[in-house]
Structure 1
């Protein structure tokens, strides 16, 4: 882990997607953060030590999913499949496919595991929120808040849209693993990777953190809200700074009396290798995305934090 000193920064963006606005001043206390996303090698140690079974390895109970189609009550998860031709990008079903037998050991489906694919030092994927939370608890750590993640991803740069400055690829340099070309059918692979890349492939930011942008989305603690929390104005009109915000309140069908029920949405941060200029330009610190907590995919991973004084 590396230490991220506390501080105040401008969170959000007003240039890309509405859910990132407004710009707001936020302060966070110092914390330790995993240098990289949790890798398959690290996650395997957790599984070996605990015998934990991930969400994707458990067949869904039809009682929890009214309207489930016949034959879908088998273990599996979502896998990205590149299309052969241009498709309607408003329909993610054109490239996301539920694959029986897909899980963290078999991120692309049951036909090949992480050993055969040579993925030990790649970020673990096919991770649902409960899986990330279980690993963090075992490791004596926690998951970051949205504010902590964004603060760390910026690496001390203020007012920049990208984690490294104002240009996505300065002088043509590939500084993160994202999709180059037209999504979801034409990936030029200028960075050398069709899917995930090994951790530490790209330069660390000023805090010494790798892959805070792209490669894989990462879970945060915060419940999703369309409009981020903003500070209320003080008497006289000046605006105060949010201190260590913890994100949205639970909404929708979540029942606090049954916290183990896998419903509700958490905030993902960082973007992934599927973010492209023509679709999902979320390879930026301010970017955020909602994800159902029971969902695992081939582009979602996580990393942990330890807060100073805890």
Structure 2
């Protein structure tokens, strides 16, 4: 464990057994790691995708917090739905965005999106039928739940007694504290031959060589975790945070993007997804980010849960 993180239990300040503690008010307990707060930073002075507002690096202060080791799985979300009868926003809308490559020629595609033909709007695509009617989650219970909006994630978080992390908390945990590193594992660049996470290998979107073994999502607990114990903070699925999406720039383009983001109430997502590739979506870096409206749901968006540290709950975190 780094000086930033430790495996302490949330229960009465007692030390957790093994590498993680388990806490949850309801549902299957999520394994968490206690993260030491303090002065840290968000963003980078070496921005690559300026339009996304990756920079400049900004000093911030975060409190001590707990963060789950992995994204919320299909199995855990299923427990939530069964216990509460919750209806997701995709179910209410009647459709969601599906990566067309997952449809395998199915005729359930309702409409391809104008400038991104690899995405399809699919009628009936929801969390337990992620590619629409006839698709199944049976073999994916340990994968991240997808087709969930920010509002769905917030509802789940409230049910387990947690919340979504802030962008600063997410980055702080991914870097293992104040380290300046490009990826959760360090600075070594993944390639089409050498993989560290579930991203695209090959020529996007026409060829995926599957070097990492996955075409869509991978199990939430796959690939090597960070030295602090977090899984898949890069790739697999984008992760919702609680922060509004804003670009910190005075440029005309930034002002226009911020006006659009404010109108849509866009929120920040972090980590990239299985569709990222350096040639197209170089967003599996820690500083990378996107903004989506809180009702958005797709094949590559999920979330993980954070928890506040209550006074006297954890000693010497």
Secondary structure, in 3 states, of the residue corresponding to 1:2?
strand
Name the residue aligned to 1:30: 64
d(CA) in 2 for partners of 1:154, 1:170? 21
Correspondent of 1:12 among 31, 43, 52: 43
Name the residue aligned to 2:246: 225
Instruction: Identify unmatched segments of 5+ residues in structure 2.
Output: 1-31, 105-112, 250-257, 312-317
Q: What is the TM-score when the length of structure 1 is the normalising length?
A: 0.78
Instruction: Identify unmatched segments of 5+ residues in structure 1.
Output: 60-74, 85-89, 229-247, 254-262
Q: What is the TM-score when the length of structure 2 is the normalising length?
A: 0.77
Structure 1 stretch displaced more, 282-291 or 161-170: 161-170
Name the residue aligned to 1:81: 100
1:1-310 correspondence to structure 2 within 5 Å: 1-13=32-44, 14-18=46-50, 19-59=53-93, 75-82=94-101, 92-115=115-138, 118-156=139-177, 158-169=179-190, 173-227=194-248, 252-253=262-263, 263-309=264-310
How has the CA–CA distance of structure 1 residues 140 and 167 changed in structure 2, closer, same or farther, with 3 Å as cutoff?
same
CA deviation string 1:287-307 (max 9, x = no partner): 110101111000000011111
Q: Per-residue deviation at 1:193?
A: 0.3
CA deviation string 1:112-140 (max 9, x = no partner): 1101xx00000000001110000000111
Secondary structure, in 3 states, of the residue corresponding to 1:20?
coil
d(CA) in 2 for partners of 1:123, 1:166? 25
Q: Per-residue deviation at 1:97?
A: 0.7
Question: Quick check: 2:151–2:294 contact (8 Å CA) kept in 1?
Answer: yes
d(CA) in 2 for partners of 1:249, 1:306? 31
CA deviation string 1:169-198 (max 9, x = no partner): 389542110111121111111100001001
d(CA) in 2 for partners of 1:278, 1:219? 24
**Residues matched between the structures, number:** 261
